[in-house]
Amino acid sequence: MNQLKKGYDLEARTLKFSSELIDYCKKCTKDTITIPLINQLIRYGTSIGANYREANGASSKKDFQNKIFICKKEAKETLYWIELMGKAINNEKLIKELRKLWQESKELTLIFSKIAHSTKN
């Protein structure tokens, strides 16, 4: 059971995603196009985990539902910024890394959508 819990530890998973996103953004060339995209990626991508931690400490079911809904929204918005970043960069290695981040953001969107749906009244 402990091993199963580790595989589905969303706090750890969202922290890992945030860390990988930060590492990715550090590698990107900074110019007038990429700087705003990087700022948005960091803002929305890292807020997924922060909001999930807040959800785990929620004071009520309604508070929990609200935070989970925010996680879902932030994950979807992160997908958008990742897609734009893909248009802005011209480096195959970085594009390959970006695809992995997109996939994880997509999976997080689906996970939080499922949680949000299952906790509706």
Statement: residue 4 has pLDDT above 50: no
Statement: residue 64 has pLDDT above 60: yes
Statement: residue 7 has pLDDT above 50: no
Contact in structure between 49 and 1 (CB atoms under 8 Å): no
> Sign (positive/negative) of CA torsion 62, 68, 74, 80?
negative
Spans of all domains in the chain = 2-118
Q: What pLDDT, on the 0 to 100 scale, is given for residue 109?
A: 97
pTM: 0.89
CATH class as words, domain 2-118: mainly alpha
Helix axes 10-27 and 34-56, enclosed angle (nearest 10) = 170
Q: What pLDDT, on the 0 to 100 scale, is given for residue 1?
A: 37
Statement: residue 115 has pLDDT above 50: yes
Q: What pLDDT, on the 0 to 100 scale, is given for residue 119?
A: 87
